[in-house]
Amino acid sequence: MKHGKKYRAAAVKFDKLEPTGFEEAAKMVKEVAFAKFDESVDLALHLNLKKSQTVRDTLVLPHQFSAEKKILVFAKGEKAEEAKAAGAAFVGDVDLVEKIKDGWLDFDIAVATPDMMKDVGRLGPILGRRGLMPNPKTQTVTFDIKGAIAELRKGRVEYRTDKAGCVNVTVGKVSMEPVTISENVRAVIREIERKRPPDVKGEYIRTATLSSTMGPGVRVSTKKELAKEGR
């Protein structure tokens, strides 16, 4: 893969083969960022998993950086009122289902009560390919509407492994302080370690890389950082 002149100039500023600590990696990512916009900072992990294994869940990072997202809730009766009181941007039941079938998609996250999934399930071809389908595994199918909305408004993020056993999570913006970015990185690493399958042998996190949207990756030493915590 060919990279542009700015990318190549940024890449020579550090040794990509030498893993470093969380905060130092964040400093390096900020140093080599060259885009004119406030780039996202992304953490990429390659896990030691069997083909049949997957790691998937959600977490709330200690430091938020995303703009508030429009939350849609599929609910009826008291749960619909609970959603409105909790600050959902859109609340409804079959009326919203029909509206979405007609092409409306002006929202960022969808939540549904379990009793609504029979109707919401019909939207699978529309919502599924856009990553908007409510799912119990991401706590977006729940009767705890108030709690779900509260966490989503705090910036709850979803993570999951792909077919190659890799996890990609956005952990900040280039404009953030390195220590703040590093604390978000640490939170993700802790969470991934918590989800380690019991039958994994050897090193669980094979590689960890931190990068900005347009910049080169900086390898992170999770082993050294976790050792500091006595893990």
Give tens-digit pLDDT for 116-133: 999 999 999 999 988 899
pTM, rounded to two decimals: 0.74
If one counts every other C-beta atom within 10 angstroms of the C-beta of residue 184, the result is 25
**178 Cβ contact list (under 8 Å, min separation 6):** 23, 24, 26, 27, 30
Q: Is the pLDDT of residue 165 over 60?
A: yes
Question: Which residues does 143 contact at the CB level (< 8 Å), separation at least 6?
Answer: 79, 113, 114
3-class DSSP assignment, residue 120: helix
pLDDT band at 202 (very low <50, low <70, confident <90, very high): confident
In the block, which residue shows the tokens 């915590």?
229
In angstroms, the CA 35 to CA 49 distance is: 35
CA distance 133 to 120: 8
Average pLDDT (20-26) is 91
- Position 169 scores a pLDDT of 94
pLDDT, position 13: 61
Is there a contact between 109 and 192 (Cβ–Cβ < 8 Å)?
no
Q: How far is the C-alpha of 174 from the C-alpha of 176, rounded, in Å?
A: 5
Kindly tell me the burial class for residue 216, based on how many C-beta atoms sit within 10 Å of its own C-beta (0-12, 13-18, 19 or more).
buried
- Go through the domains of the chain in sequence order and give each one's CATH number: 5-65+156-228 (3.30.190.20), 71-154 (3.40.50.790)
Identify the band that residue 158 occupies on the pLDDT scale cut at 50, 70 and 90. confident
Q: Within its chain, how far is the Cα of 160 from the centroid? A: 8
**Residues 6 or more apart whose Cβ sits within 8 Å of residue 146:** 82, 85, 86
